[in-house]
Amino acid sequence: LPASDPEPRALGLTARHLAYIIYTSGSTGTPKGIEMPHGSLMNLLWSSPEFGAPKRRTLQFTTLNFDVSFQELFSCWRDGGLLVLVQEETRADFSELLDFVCREGIERLFLPFVALKHFAEAWCARGALLPSLREIYTAGEQLRATPELRSFFETHPRARLINQYGPTETHVVTEHRLVADPSCWPQLPPIGRPIANARIYLLDAHGAPVPVGAVGELYVGGAGVARGYLNRPELTADRFTASPFVEGDRLYRSGDLARYLPDGNLEFLGRNDDQVKIRGFRIEPGEIAARLCEHELVGDAVVVARADRTGDQRLVAYVVAKPADGSEGADGAQLAASLRAHLGGRLPDYMVPSAFVRLDGLPLTPNGKLDRQALPAPDDDAYARTAYEAPQGEVETLLAGIWAELLGVERVGRHDNFFELGGHSLLAVQLSSRMSQAVGVALPLTKLFATPVLAEVARATSITLIEQEFDRHELLKLLSLESRNDRFN
């Protein structure tokens, strides 16, 4: 701006001018650029009940391509607080992150739920107190009050947990503060009430408001709504519409389902279509199924998200092989390996299912629709694995048990691949932490990514243990020699 006239309005600038463009995950193959104006971000910051709160030491945990980073940055600077940066290695290792938060006296954290879950689990394994912590904001996926999370907040009564909701197209529009005894928290806490200048409508298929307790699609109006999608006028017209309730207002159709609870809070109930969100990525299972059907052995396919034995959401593909093509001779594990390789060259890693279940035919309801409830849980053969060979030796057997527990599978063979059994980077961090507790060796993540086969991981662990034992004996010999010299002198 010219030094002689620093007033933005003199240049015709308004709150509707563009502040930033942020892209969604692009799980359908075409990322969408969302145009967010200044007014939306300003409303989030200045309408917050935390405005005027004590200055907080805030950790910048999220990356700049995630809109939560704007909350970390600007809310901290708004209050005159200190923004604490963290190295990527520490951010990815929740045990180290705990030490960092304690050492730096962090008072405010913004953690997506998946990260919060692992943060609480790491704390339970360590038990270190975080006396400075006052606020943890979470969003991104549906909050679950896990036992580890309850235990963390029971031990830190001065810290508050704030559950927020808001699509990228609107930023945060509701929040719920969990202030009661953590043991009384519901398993799936509500997403709360609208923040200031945000309007929420639950509408039925005809665009009419639903009564309290009834399920409706969540529409967002008010100051937080984006201008639309960059260079996507048809998509913008489909998702952003004029409000029939407030003149001049625009509504964003979120595709999320919710209902009002008797106390006025909103309960989130998932998507109204097949879209799912896993580890922060929006995923269209239909896109994955379409790629599966391009495989020469696949006649039909469907992909769903389902919880494994650990409670984590995993993508599972159900496939029907084409008849009379020689595929009858391929067992489940061989087919899984072939399909995983096929998808790996066409889709990003987070869209490749953890398991592939072969069916004679997809189950249908009496009216001919897919019966999702009848889809069976995947067994061990559904994963891309080689022929099972039992672990050998104490270290392999111990690690196999840890892998099975983390990955939610019944057994792990010595030639199984951690990532082909459904492992990912967050589970890899947990694996390193569990190994440190169980055998005294925290395997570097780079080594796990380079050699993710159980036998190789066990071999590297054994070598490290031998080196540690050798160093210990050498130290004892030096100490003994020094003691003898002291006696001689």
One-character DSSP codes across 184-247:
GS-SS---BEEPTTEEEEEE-TTSPBPPTTS-EEEEEEETT---EETT-HHHHHHHEEE-SSST
Other Cβ atoms closer than 10 A to 140: 22
Q: Which fold has domain 8-273?
A: Rossmann fold (3.40.50)
Three-class SS of 48-80: CCCCCCCCCEEECCCCCCCCHHHHHHHHHHHCC
Contact 351, 279 (CB under 8 A): no
Architecture field, domain 277-382: 2-Layer Sandwich (3.30)
pLDDT at res. 67: 86
**Cα–Cα distance measured from residue 258 to residue 271, given in angstroms and rounded to the nearest whole number:** 9
**Cα–Cα distance measured from residue 43 to residue 196, given in angstroms and rounded to the nearest whole number:** 8
Contact 204, 69 (CB under 8 A): no
State the residue for tokens 């031990």.
155
Pick 426 or 485 by higher pLDDT.
426
- Residues ≥6 apart with Cβ < 8 Å to 255: 217, 271, 272, 273, 275
**Cα–Cα distance measured from residue 120 to residue 161, given in angstroms and rounded to the nearest whole number:** 12
- Residues ≥6 apart with Cβ < 8 Å to 362: 300, 302, 318, 320, 370
Tell me the one-letter amino acid at 96. E
* Nearest by Cα to 356 from 289, 270, 272: 289
The CATH superfamily of 393-471 is ACP-like (1.10.1200.10)
- pLDDT of 305-316, one tens digit each? 887 766 677 889
DSSP state of 377: P
* Nearest by Cα to 403 from 380, 370, 374, 378: 380
Contact 232, 222 (CB under 8 A): no
- pLDDT of 12-56, one tens digit each? 788 889 999 998 755 445 678 999 999 998 888 887 666 556 788
Q: Where do the domains of the chain lie?
A: 8-273, 277-382, 393-471
Q: Check if 8-273 and 277-382 are the same fold.
A: no
Average pLDDT over residues 245-267: 94
Contact 98, 126 (CB under 8 A): yes
pLDDT at res. 474: 58
Q: Is 19 helix (H, G, I), strand (E, B) or coil?
A: strand
Contact 218, 173 (CB under 8 A): no
pTM beyond 0.85: the answer is no
- Residues ≥6 apart with Cβ < 8 Å to 36: 18, 19, 20, 21, 22, 67, 171, 226, 227
- Reported as a pLDDT band with limits 50, 70 and 90, residue 367 is very low
Q: Is 148 helix (H, G, I), strand (E, B) or coil?
A: helix
* Nearest by Cα to 171 from 358, 38, 347, 309: 38
Average pLDDT over residues 347-365: 83
Summary mean pLDDT of the chain: 83
Q: Is 476 left (phi over 0), alpha (psi -120 to 50) or beta?
A: alpha
Tell me the one-letter amino acid at 211. P
Average pLDDT over residues 369-398: 78
Q: Is 121 exposed, middle or buried (0-12, 13-18, 19+ CB in 10 A)?
A: buried
- pLDDT of 440-465, one tens digit each? 877 777 878 888 888 888 888 888 87
Pick 429 or 175 by higher pLDDT.
175
pLDDT at res. 325: 47
